[in-house]
Amino acid sequence: MTDKFISIEAIAKRYPGAGGATTTVFENLWLSMARGEFCCVIGHSGCGKTTVLNILAGLDAPSEGAVIVDGQAISGTSLDRAVIFQSHALLPWRTVLGNVAYAVSSKWRNWDRVKVRAHAQTFIDLVGLTGSEHKHPSELSGGMKQRVGIARALSITPKMMLMDEPFSALDALTRGTLQDEVRRICLETGQTAFMITHDVDEAIYLADKIFLMTNGPGAVLAEVVENPLPRDRGRTDLHRHPLYYALRNHIIDFLVTRSKTFAAETPGHDPRNVPLVHIGKPGLSIASNEEQRQTWISGTSPGLTA
Amino acid sequence: MMTTSSLRLRAGLVSIALLAAFLGIWHLATRSTAPVATMSPEYAKLMGLTATQGKSAMPGPLDVGAKLWQHLKRPFYDNGPNDKGLGIQLAYSIARVGTGYLLAVLVAIPLGFLIGMSPLLSKALDPFIQVLKPISPLAWMPLALYTIKDSSISAIFVIFICSIWPMLLNTVFGVASVRKEWVNVARTLEVGTVRRAFTVILPAAAPTILTGMRISIGIAWLVIVAAEMLVGGTGVGYFVWNEWNNLSITNVIIAILLIGIVGMLLDQILARFTRMVTFPE
Ligand SMILES: Nc1ncnc2c1ncn2[C@@H]1O[C@H](COP(=O)(O)OP(=O)(O)O)[C@@H](O)[C@H]1O
Ligand SMILES: [Mg+2]
C-alpha cells in the first residue's frame, strides 16, 4: 500500500534543558498511515507518544520536519483531525448535548439550533447515551464521559481520529465495551485512527498496524508490526487465533527488553525505512520460536478447562 | 436531611436566645439607676435627662427601637441638607457604591482578560499592580479632590479604585489558570479567539471572577462610610458623622445596624451570582 494519507516526515521535538543544553525527545521520526487504517502506538512512558499525537493534531509544532495530511503540510489544528483526550476534557458547565453541540456548531457555523441539536443527538445515540443528553459531566461515570468525548469527536465527521490513551482511566469491563464501539464505528465510517495505548491486548484487538517506540530521550520508531489477525476479529476469541500469542509476545518482548537496548543493538537502523514486521510469515526468526510456544499453549489448555 | 433541618432549627433557636440575652443585658445596663440629683429647674434643663432622671447617656434597646420605627415610617423625608430620611442617605451611598463598582467591573474584567491571556502583559504590569494594590483607597482622596474638584465624584473614584484590585487580580488568575485541555478542545475545533474567550475562558474563569467581585463589593461598602465621612454632604457615612456631632447616639446605632444589613444583602446578591456560575467538576 503506497497511499500515504498521513505522512510524518523527519520530525523532531526538542526542549531547552537544564543549563542551556537541549533535550531531544525524538528526532528524524518518519511514520506514515494509509486512509482508513487503524494504528496504535506502544512505548514506555515519557518516550514522546503524546508529543507525536499533539503534533499530528496541530496542538504542538515540531522543532523540525513536517506532517503531511492528504497531500498538504499541516499548520495548526483542524476540524479534519478530531482528538479524543485521555482526560475526556468535557466542558463541565455544559450538558452532554451542550458539549457535543459545541463541536457541531463549531464545524457548521451557520446551522440553526434545531439542526445542530438534531445532529448532536445522532452521535449521542450512536455512543449509547440516549436519555443522558441533559446531564452534566459531573453526573456521569468515567465510561460515559469518555463516550461523550467519542461522540464529540465523531460528530464533526473528521477525516481522522487521534486518541491519547482514551480508555486507560476506565475499568476493564467498560474499556472492553468502548473498544468494541470504537472499532465498530471506525470500521463503519472508514475512519483513519491513531491511538496511543499501554494495553497490548487493546492494540492487538483494534490496530491494523502497531508502531513500537523505544525509550526516550532520543526515542525512535523501531518497528511497524502488521496485525496478522483477520479484520472481522472478535474481542472474546482473539486469543484463539494461532498467531495471537506470537504477536503478543513479540510486542511484550519489545517492551520488556528490546525497547531499552534497541538503539545500541541496531546501529544501522534507518528511521526513514522502519522495518515492517509480519508475524508468522516466513523469513522472520520469531515465527519459528512462536510455533513451539503455540503447541505448548494448546497442550496445556485442556488441562485448564477440565 | 432530617438532621440538617433539625440542626438549622436548633441553630435558629440559639440565635434568637443570644439576641434576646444581648438585648436584655443592653436594656439592664442602660436602665435609669443613678440617684436623681436635686437642682434648680434651669440647671436641670441644661444638664439633660442624664443628670435629672439618672438616665444613662447610652440609649437602651427600647429607645433605639422606637427611633428605628420612626425612621422606617418615614425613610425618604427631606428637610434640607442636614435632615434627610435614612432611606435617602442609604440610597446615596448605594448609588455611589454602585457607580464606582460598575465602572471598576467594566475596567477590571476586560483588562484582567487581556492580562490573563498574555504572559507578557501579565509580567509587565505585575509590579504596578503590586504597588497600587496595598494603597488604602482613602489615601487617594486628596488627590481625587484636587484633580476632580467634586466631592461626590471623588467618593465614586475612591470606590472605583478600591474595588478594582480584587476583581482584576481574580480575573487575571482565573483566566490564566483555565485548564489547558479545555483550551485545547476549542483549538481542535478551530474556534476563533473571541468565541473561545466567551465560550471557554469566560465560563471556566467565572467562579474565580465572581469571587473577586464579591470581595470587591464588601470592600467598597466598607470604604464608602469612611469616604462619606470625609467628603460630607450626603450618604450614610455623612449621616453617622452628622449624628455624632448632634450627639444622637441612637441614630448612630441605627445607622450602624443598617450599614450592616445593607452590606450583608450586597454580599448575598454576589454570593447568589457566584453560585449561578459555579459548575461541579
Ligand atoms: N513542556 C515540556 N518541557 C520539557 N520537556 C517536556 C515538555 N513536555 C514534554 N516533555 C518531555 O517530553 C518527553 C515526552 O513526553 P510525552 O510525549 O508526554 O511522553 P509519553 O506520552 O510517551 O508518555 C517526556 O520525557 C517529557 O519529560
Ligand atoms: Mg502520554
C-beta separation of B240 from B218 below 8 A: no
Question: What is residue B37's predicted lDDT score, i.e. its pLDDT?
Answer: 57
pLDDT by residue (tens digit) across B34-48?
A: 555 566 667 666 665
Residues in A touching B182 (Cβ below 8 Å) = 89, 91
Report d(CA B235, CA A85) in Å as an integer: 56
Report d(CA A87, CA A35) in Å as an integer: 27
Residues in A touching B187 (Cβ below 8 Å) = 58-59, 76-77
Q: What are phi and psi of B60, to 5 degrees?
A: -90, 175
Q: Which residues contact B157 (CB under 8 A, 6 or more apart)?
A: B100, B140, B144, B148
Residue A97 C-beta-side C-alpha neighbours within 13 Å: 15
Percent of chain A with pLDDT over 90: 62
- The Å distance, Cα A49 to ligand 2 centre, comes to 6
Closest CA to B229 of B244, B249, B210, B214: B244
Question: What is residue B152's predicted lDDT score, i.e. its pLDDT?
Answer: 87
Residues in B touching A77 (Cβ below 8 Å) = 187-190
Q: Which residue has the higher pLDDT, B26 or B46?
A: B26
Percent of chain A with pLDDT over 70: 91
Query: Which is the closest atom of ligand 1 to the Cα of A15?
Result: 4
Chain-centre distance for alpha carbon B136 = 16
Q: Which residue has the higher pLDDT, A301 or B105?
A: B105
pLDDT by residue (tens digit) across A153-169?
A: 999 999 999 999 998 88
Question: What is residue A287's predicted lDDT score, i.e. its pLDDT?
Answer: 37
Specify the residue with its C-alpha closest to ligand 1, atom 4: A15
CB contact under 8 A, B188 and A57: yes
Q: Which three cell numbers stand for residue A265?
A: 543493538
Specify the residue with its C-alpha closest to ligand 1, atom 17: A48
pLDDT by residue (tens digit) across B210-250?
A: 999 999 999 999 999 999 998 888 899 999 998 888 888 89
Q: Which three cell numbers stand for residue B158?
A: 475612591
Question: What is residue A304's predicted lDDT score, i.e. its pLDDT?
Answer: 35
Enumerate residues lining ligand 1, CB below 6 A: A 15, 25, 43, 45-51, 216
For chain A, the residues whose C-beta falls within 8 A of a C-beta of chain B are 57-59, 76-79, 81-83, 85, 87, 89, 91-93, 102-103, 106-107, 136-138, 156
C-beta separation of A210 from A255 below 8 A: no
Question: What is residue A300's predicted lDDT score, i.e. its pLDDT?
Answer: 34
C-beta separation of B136 from B165 below 8 A: no
Q: Is pLDDT above 90 for A62?
A: yes
Closest CA to B112 of B217, B218, B222, B206: B206
Q: Using 50, 70 and 90 to split pLDDT, how confident is the model at B2? A: low
Question: What is residue A302's predicted lDDT score, i.e. its pLDDT?
Answer: 35
Question: What is residue B95's predicted lDDT score, i.e. its pLDDT?
Answer: 95
Q: What is the rounded average pLDDT for all residues in chain B?
A: 89
CATH of domain B86-277: 1.10.3720.10
Q: Which residue has the higher pLDDT, B192 or A289?
A: B192
Alpha helix positions (H), chain A: 49-57, 96-107, 113-126, 142-155, 172-189, 200-206, 244-253, 259-265, 285-305
C-beta separation of B213 from B270 below 8 A: yes
Q: Which three cell numbers stand for residue A153?
A: 469527536
Question: What is residue B81's predicted lDDT score, i.e. its pLDDT?
Answer: 78
Question: What is residue A1's predicted lDDT score, i.e. its pLDDT?
Answer: 47
CB contact under 8 A, B189 and A106: yes
Give the Å distances, CA to CA, from B172 to A178, B192, B205, B209. Answer: 39, 20, 9, 9
Question: What is residue A298's predicted lDDT score, i.e. its pLDDT?
Answer: 34
Closest CA to B188 of A117, A155, A47: A155
